[in-house]
Each structure stands twice: as structure tokens, then as C-alpha cells.
Amino acid sequence: MNLRFLAALAVFALPALSWAGDTSALRPPKNAPVAIVAFEDLQCPDCADAEALLEEASTKYKIPLVRRDFPLPSHNWSFDAHVIARYFDSKSLELGEQFRRWVYANQSSIKRENLIGMASRFADQHGVELPENYDRDHKLEKLVKDDFAFGQQIGVLHTPTIYVVSSSQRGAPFVETLDRDKLFAMIEQMQAAEKR
């Protein structure tokens, strides 16, 4: 066989294979029948655009928003921002959430060169310290990498990838929301199915 043909086949076949990933591990947290699970990249403009909608949906329907780290390799400061967000999570989950929202709101001003300085200012404003070695043992980095690997395992190809998930085993346990305008309708549908 021609090597170019095999290479071309691999380029087209790999996305199709990854799309067919195992999504059975996508579940809401304990005691939550329905949740939103979002695979996000803190440097992704589409993720920043989706932030307000995700927050609104989570609040309106009183369901958890489960964030998964999916920093794209093409973004030069995203991975570090995700690790910093995990550091703030270790101080309090609410602080981590505030940092993520702050990053999305300030995304256009953040660069690889000023990320640490801006994150330090965020920390100062919230009465915490961002030490120079905020991930000395690389445990936070591992959490980010584990989320990314999980995303790859289930077939995430882009950010944001948003799922509405339920604890029910009836039918499909998730719906990927590629059309954000339909997010609320999907949540309502999933909640109604859980009540049956």
C-alpha cells in the first residue's frame, strides 16, 4: 500500500475513532440527578463566550456545573492557567470558580508572559498567596492531565464540549450540546426523564 494513502487514512480515521469513545463514565456528582459537564480550555474564546450561559443554566435549574480541564496544546498559556485554577480550588472550590470566571473575563489581556503576575494580583485581591512553587509536587498538573486524558478517552475533540448528564441508565445517559441555544431544552428534557 502507498504510505501517503495510509497516512491520509490515519488522519481521517483517528478523529472518527476518538468520537466513538466510551462516555459511560460521564455522570453527575452524587445526589444530583442531572448535571452539566463542560470540557473547557481557559484560553478558548468560545469557552469564554459560553461561560455566562453555563452559569445561568446551572443557577436556573439548580444543577451542578462540573468543569473538566481540556487545555488545547495550541494555546500557549492555557495549561498553566488550569494548574493555577486547581491551586485556587485547593484553597476553596469557590475561589477556583472565581478564578476561572476571572480568566474568561480577562482572557484578551492575558499572555504567557503575564499570566503569573495577573494570577498573583487575583490572589492578592482575594486575600490568598500564589507561591512561586504553587505545584511543587506536580499533583495539580496531574489532575489537569488526567482530565485531558479522560476527555480524549470519551472522544472530546474541541472546546467547549458540553454534556448534559443524568444518573439514569434509561436511554442515552448524556447529550452533547453542540448548539448552546438548545441547552436549556436539553436540561428540561433530562430532568423530566429523571422524574419518570
User: Which of the two residues, 119 and 191, has the higher pLDDT score?
Assistant: 119
Question: pLDDT class for 189, splitting at 50, 70, 90?
Answer: confident
What is the distance between the alpha carbons of residues 4 and 7, in angstroms, rounded to a whole number?
5
pTM recorded for the entire structure: 0.83
pLDDT in tens, 9-57: 333 333 333 344 667 778 899 999 999 999 999 999 999 999 999 999 9
Identify the CATH number of the domain defined by range 24-195: 3.40.30.10
Q: Domain coordinates of the chain in residue numbers? A: 24-195
Sheet order of strands, 174-176 included:
65-69, 34-40, 161-166, 174-176
Q: 61 with 34: CB under 8 angstroms?
A: yes
C-alpha cell at 57: 443554566
Q: Looking at residue 17, what is its pLDDT? A: 35
Q: Looking at residue 125, what is its pLDDT? A: 97
Q: Looking at residue 13, what is its pLDDT? A: 34
Q: Looking at residue 1, what is its pLDDT? A: 41
What mean pLDDT value characterizes the chain?
A: 85
Question: pLDDT class for 146, splitting at 50, 70, 90?
Answer: very high
The β-bridge partners of 95 are none
Q: What is the share, in percent, of the chain residues with pLDDT greater than 70?
A: 83
Q: What is the mean pLDDT of residues 132-145?
A: 97
Residue 143 identity: L
Q: What is the share, in percent, of the chain residues with pLDDT greater than 90?
A: 65
Q: What is the 3-state secondary structure (H, E, C) of 7-75?
A: HHHHHHHHHHHHHCCCCCCCCCCCCCCEEEEEEECCCCHHHHHHHHHHHHHHHHHCCCEEEEECCCCCC
